[in-house]
Amino acid sequence: MHREKHSIEKIGWLRAAVLGANDGIVSTASLLLGVASANATHQTILLTGIAGLVAGAMSMAAGEYVSVSSQADTEKAALAEEQAELHADYPGEHRELTSIYVHRGLDLALAKQVAEKLMSHDALGAHARDELGISEITTARPLQAAWTSAMSFAVGAILPLLVAFMVSSDWAITAIALSTLISLAILGGIAAKTGGAPVLPGIIRITFWSTLAMGVSSGVGMLFGSLVN
């Protein structure tokens, strides 16, 4: 059997990976820039970055797991309800599926035939896909999302942290900001290309909002650094 591969099939892990890596780079870079702008020592900057990496990765994993688990629970409840409806009123569910196909453009006779064939093969699967919008592609996978988010966050966070480790405090702000924008532009392009979306809008979107986040963090660091000192 021939099965075409489409970019939409990657949406589950791609979303978690891009979100995690982007958050890792932006969060850690913004944190480092905020501390560096407050005239912190090089040791303090590095310690802050490491703490941000660990805390961010754990937070991403926990948040993604809880969020996607809630989605999975909702899907299970909807499928259980649909299964009960199939047991209670099979003909009514057949009419409901027929109506869906009619609204999609089939004539009534063909819609009835399609609904009958699909329900005889897998009644719950047919209603899950065509009535509830639940398919193999969109099914929630909490552990996969949590693991992908945590690992991608850590990988993203390492980039600005390595830059901060290699340069002195005098050059930290400039080096971290430039390297972060370059890595984010590359990430945005890869994510857009992998998902089959236009590359340039993806790059512009991710760099614009990331620049804003880093700018605000630096401003806050400078403000409170001057107040404390």
Q: Which pLDDT score, from 0 to 100, does residue 139 have? A: 61
Is the pLDDT reported for residue 3 higher than 70? Answer: no
- Taking Cα atoms as reference points, which of 37, 53, 57, 36 lies closest to residue 45? 36
Q: Which pLDDT score, from 0 to 100, does residue 53 have? A: 93
Instruction: Give the list of residues 6+ apart from residue 205 with CB closer than 8 angstroms, or none.
Output: 188
CA distance 163 to 32: 10
pTM to 2 decimals? 0.67
CA distance 111 to 98: 5
Q: Where are the domains of the chain?
A: 10-223
Is the pLDDT reported for residue 168 higher than 70? Answer: yes
Question: What number is the average pLDDT over the span 109-126?
Answer: 87
CA distance 83 to 80: 5
Above pLDDT 70, what percent of the chain? Answer: 87
Query: How high does pLDDT run on average in the chain?
Result: 82
Q: Which pLDDT score, from 0 to 100, does residue 47 have? A: 93
CA distance 229 to 66: 41
- pLDDT band of residue 11 (cuts 50, 70, 90) is low
CA-based radius of gyration for the chain: 24
